[in-house]
Structure 1
Amino acid sequence: MGSLVLLDLMGGVALLLWGLHMVHSGILRAFGPDLRLLLAKALNNRFTAFAAGLGLTALLQSSTATALITSSFTAEGLVSLVPALAIMLGANVGTTLIVQVLSFDVAAVAPVLFILGLVAFRSGPRSRIKDIGRVAIGLGLMLLALHILLDTMAPAENAPGVRVFLSAITGDPVLCILIGAVVTWLVHSSVASVLLVMSLAYSQFISPYAAFALVLGANLGSAINPLMEGAHRDNPASYRLPLGNLVNRVVGILLVAPFLRPITEHIHAWQPDLAKATAQFHVVFNVATAILFIGFLDSMARLLKRLLPKRVQETDPSRPRYLDESALETPSLALADASREVLHMGDHVEVMLRKVMAAMMTNDRALVDQVSRMDNNVDSLNEAIKLYVTKLTRGSLDEREGQRAMEIVAFAINLEHIGDIIDKNLSELATKKIKRRLQFSSEGAEELSAFHKRTIDSLRAGFGVFMSGDVTEARKLLAEKAALRTAELAATERHLDRLREGRPETIETTSLHLDVLRDLRRIHSHICSVAYPVLDATGETAADRASAAVAAELPAPAPGRS
């Protein structure tokens, strides 16, 4: 009998965790950018920050998720430590609300949530409606899991072995706190662990005293996860927020633990239903600690800054700036971060392109060396972007998000190819010119500079098309590709004319001149690749694009002529 009880218990907990995951992921996918923007705007003072943390965590059902989002803000310097700590106090209260709601008998709502969720998920015309359906299904699974834990689990008298085992491991309050902390850390959810404690108390497997001690442990365990996942070892300052939250929990537990038995007796006398009493103790503990600490956040922030100073270090140009791991659960945020990182990578490529031409024209060997080092940075950023997007695509993405992920990877690869052309081709041409002490003719130098400027302008236009998806700008970019091809042919013809004239500078640099034109055109082709997905999305065929390119090359009709 004991084995069946344990099996029911594990099955119910597994179903509860999966329901929590669906609620959490559905809310993030549907409202992630809005929630993050709301959180960023609610930081004027500690009280609005507290309210924002409470509301956000009540929706997400995860104080860990709130902590990771807030930690990313503080790591980027967007949020000061005092409002961030206030957010976490609100998050600790917010995570108790769903427990309080589910302490009432609402299991009959589960079938309604399943039906509504399935209809929304299967027939939702937009992604947000589908995600709201996911949330409804997740809530239904949570209620169904509670039904398993509270109603179908065998009474304690029919499973004496389980009762003896649980009584043995929950006899000591300190051990209960440790067990609650470990279980919460393992399942990454104080909601799940507190609901499990409620079901055990309701079925009389554990005493009210042990239930309250386990709740204290659950509060401790939920503060450990952000400390281990949200901090970066190379930056001690990233530990400030999660450590401050952990200190709040530890101090609260130390203040309550000595008086836990009289507190238990008082609450149990006031609320005989052990499940509701457990939920109410969970709420009271977090509200009391929030009231206690919200006035001391300034002192705590100063202490944390003194203990964990921000490490002053030079920025490594090969390391990504915007790839936030905590955003991976919200595809829209993660895709925006990856797009920003591609632009960061593009900035490196643009600088390389400017420097290599400057080296070509001024015979500056130091600039060539700088370009080579920057290409290594571009390669590193490209690998980081591809790895980040790969992690993102392991989850469930809708068609639009999947397409955007592929566009990001494709443009990053094209930028990396541009970097290789600059480093492997143009830099070698510049080195050859420097070693041989060659000089372009004035006309040739002017042609190459103009061609280079058009390439730079197209690169910046390509960045705009990549971020905006503007169809008109994409067409202009492809029209410029055709026009640049014509300009290359004209420049080549003028170069051959100078060769026929027998100009010494032109004869000495003829291969260099033509190779630079060729490589710049190849770079331009990689830039223009960003326009194709934009036009494909409008249904324009390759033939349509070719016709538009030809039309762009035709001269405008003279006034008065058709």
Structure 2
Amino acid sequence: MSEISVVVNILGAAALLLWGLRMVGTGVTRTFGADLRRWINLGTGNRLKALLTGLVVTIALQSSTATCLMAASFAGRGLMDGAIAQSVMLGANVGTSAVVTLLTFDLGPLSALLVLVGVGLFRSGPGKRRHLARILIGLGLMLLSLRLLDLASLPLRESDRLHQVLHDLDGMPLLGLGLAAGIAMLAHSSIASILLILPLAAQGAFGLTFGLALILGANLGSALPPVFETGHDKPAVRRVPLGNALVRLAGCALAFALLDPIARGVGALSADGAMRLVAFHLAFNLALALLALPLVGPIARLVKRLRPDVIQPDAPGQPKYLDERALETPSVAIAAAARETLRVADLVEAMLLKSREALRADDLGAAGEIARMDNVVDALHHAVKLYLARLANEDMDEAERGRASDIMTFVINLEHIGDIIDRNLRELAEKKIRQRLSFSPEGFDDLTALFALTLDNLKLAMTVFVTGDLRLARRLIAEKAEIRALEKRATEAHLARIGGGRRESIETSTLHLDILRDLKRINAHIASVAYPILEQRGELVATRLRPQGES
């Protein structure tokens, strides 16, 4: 039972370390996610800057895996070329070495203070305070886990049987490399796996050569999870982790071939077994960065050849901008949802144009296109709603919650507009074509004018949605009143033509009035984007009713 307890305590301490690493990464991403991504984009003008950017971001996130996935996302969207992305990853590998070096200092007493301050900050309110609290609590848990790991592994370090096993393995560095690679791959972290190795090295449980092989294995194993996690992404995304894994594999193979002379050189640095491994870990990744940085261009070309672009069949109903990884950063996810919503608005605009063309030219093909486009609008509307619903409400501040709500409202109204066009305007156009009806020239001019104003208002609504401009929001509401007046004038003119006995007006009366009504309804949905902006600025009254008693 005592042996089982020791193993459980070690695994629990290792799990706490991983959880602390995750909390720090999540907290940094949610607090500075948008700025981090912007900084990465701005800081990658050349390879050296990209390397330094990867180093700093990895120290902040405590995870080269997170940096890799972020760089892969940029590369997949064409915001970063392959050579720059590989440079970022070289810096990320150095960053993990720096984190391990920092964590070897005795900061145990600080852990309780970090957790105490973090919990207090977490309870003080939602929004960015909670994200900062996650960072502090995560750092505190990491330091606490290292202390627990040291205590839990003490019986193992004093175990004669373990020393015998490690002594037997000491002459098989390749086995040690594979063992450490497996641990790092399962833990998704070279930091955690190396911190598990260092206490044993400090006790002299194995020779230096075997310890160096373990460090190489940890470096290699931590490069593999991003390769598997991006396995179903498009080739441009998959190239970044693949290139990083190939660079690490080449570096490990070269270092493994020179393991004995490296061990002699490292052995002269210090008598402390753990510090020897820490120094080697840092030196290995620095050397790998210096050697590989001039070769990032050929590396990028190689992985492009291994993962060539594939021409995908057009899938218009699939979202283009809803990045799953951005969900951990509400501000970035909200921006992605807004961009996808603008895509829906573009489709709705195209549907309006098609419906006008179907009515003008008696084009059944244009009418058929409307039904296809409405299916795409429905699919994208559903995707945006589900995406926004997956955002954690407690992780957003008031402004982010308001923006998410505005996006949800606008995309719902766009979907309603698409339904009106598909189920009403399209069917009216097909009825006109089948029955060979024609509007009077004056009547069709009125419809064309209302179509033109509706299209203008939709473009204005898209601008208001992006900018939140108060002046344009007021103008959009004013245009709603203009639509009502134009619809009323067009209806009165149409009835006057019927009264005058115009045959075309009599035959198309139902079609004409229904189209006017539907365009008016569409404009009401378009104007809805302005209401949240006007309400936030106190520009709306509670009701349009005149107070009782006023004449």
Structures share fold, TM-score greater than 0.5: yes
* 2:252 is the alignment partner of 1:246: no
1:359-407 CA distances to partner (integer Å, 9 max, x unpaired)? Answer: 1122111111111211122122223223322333388333433333333
- 2:549 is matched with which residue? none
- Seq. identity, %: 45
| Higher mean displacement: 300-309 or 126-135 | 126-135
Q: Letter of the 2:36 partner, please give it.
A: L
- 1:23 is matched with which residue? 24
Q: 1:24 to 1:395 in 2, by over 3 A?
A: farther
Q: How does 1:270-309 map to 2 (within 5 A)?
A: 270-309=269-308
**Cα offset for 1:33?**
1.5
- 1:93 is matched with which residue? 94
- 1:104 is matched with which residue? 105
1:458-497 CA distances to partner (integer Å, 9 max, x unpaired)? Answer: 2122222222333443333333334423432332222212
* 2:76 is the alignment partner of 1:75: yes
- 1:196 is matched with which residue? 196
**Cα offset for 1:188?**
2.0
Q: Contact 1:99–1:195 (CA<8 Å) still a contact in 2? A: yes
**Cα offset for 1:116?**
3.8
Counterpart Cα distance in 1 of 2:143 and 2:529: 47
Q: Letter of the 2:214 partner, please give it.
A: L
1:491-517 CA distances to partner (integer Å, 9 max, x unpaired)? Answer: 222221221111111101110011111
- 1:501 is matched with which residue? 500
3-state SS of paired residue (1:543): coil
- 2:214 is matched with which residue? 214
- 1:32 is matched with which residue? 33
Q: Letter of the 1:386 partner, please give it.
A: K
Q: Contact 1:150–1:202 (CA<8 Å) still a contact in 2? A: no
**Cα offset for 1:293?**
1.2
3-state SS of paired residue (1:317): coil
Q: Letter of the 1:70 partner, please give it.
A: A
- Coordinate RMSD, CA, aligned: 2.7
Q: Contact 1:5–1:159 (CA<8 Å) still a contact in 2? A: no
| Higher mean displacement: 426-435 or 210-219 | 210-219
**Cα offset for 1:103?**
0.8
Q: Contact 2:131–2:395 (CA<8 Å) still a contact in 1? A: no
Q: Letter of the 1:51 partner, please give it.
A: L
- 2:324 is matched with which residue? 325
1:331-350 CA distances to partner (integer Å, 9 max, x unpaired)? Answer: 11111111101101111111
1:264-298 CA distances to partner (integer Å, 9 max, x unpaired)? Answer: 45434522333332222211111111111112222
- 1:52 is matched with which residue? 53
Counterpart Cα distance in 1 of 2:400 and 2:200: 42
Q: How does 1:411-430 map to 2 (within 5 A)?
A: 411-430=410-429
1:219-251 CA distances to partner (integer Å, 9 max, x unpaired)? Answer: 112211222223545x43433222211110101
Q: 1:176 to 1:528 in 2, by over 3 A?
A: farther
Q: Letter of the 2:173 partner, please give it.
A: P
**Cα offset for 1:447?**
1.4
Counterpart Cα distance in 1 of 2:255 and 2:477: 69
1:34-88 CA distances to partner (integer Å, 9 max, x unpaired)? Answer: 2211211222221111111111111111112211221122222222211111111
Q: Contact 2:127–2:394 (CA<8 Å) still a contact in 1? A: no
Counterpart Cα distance in 1 of 2:449 and 2:367: 21
| Higher mean displacement: 257-266 or 140-149 | 257-266
Q: How does 1:2-17 map to 2 (within 5 A)?
A: 2-17=3-18
Q: Letter of the 2:180 partner, please give it.
A: G
* 2:518 is the alignment partner of 1:512: no
**Cα offset for 1:144?**
0.9
1:141-162 CA distances to partner (integer Å, 9 max, x unpaired)? Answer: 1111111112454343654566
3-state SS of paired residue (1:25): helix
Q: Which runs of 5+ in 1 are unaligned?
A: 551-562
* 2:120 is the alignment partner of 1:131: no
Counterpart Cα distance in 2 of 1:157 and 1:84: 41
**Cα offset for 1:203?**
5.2
- 1:557 is matched with which residue? none
**Cα offset for 1:204?**
5.4
Q: 1:261 to 1:402 in 2, by over 3 A?
A: farther
Q: Letter of the 2:412 partner, please give it.
A: I
Q: Contact 1:107–1:147 (CA<8 Å) still a contact in 2? A: yes
Q: How does 1:519-538 map to 2 (within 5 A)?
A: 519-538=518-537
Q: Contact 2:87–2:293 (CA<8 Å) still a contact in 1? A: yes
- 2:336 is matched with which residue? 337
- 1:179 is matched with which residue? 179
Q: 1:349 to 1:43 in 2, by over 3 A?
A: same
Counterpart Cα distance in 2 of 1:130 and 1:478: 38
Q: Letter of the 1:244 partner, please give it.
A: G
Q: 1:213 to 1:387 in 2, by over 3 A?
A: farther
Q: 1:166 to 1:376 in 2, by over 3 A?
A: farther
Q: 1:351 to 1:284 in 2, by over 3 A?
A: same
Q: Contact 2:157–2:203 (CA<8 Å) still a contact in 1? A: no
Q: 1:232 to 1:170 in 2, by over 3 A?
A: farther
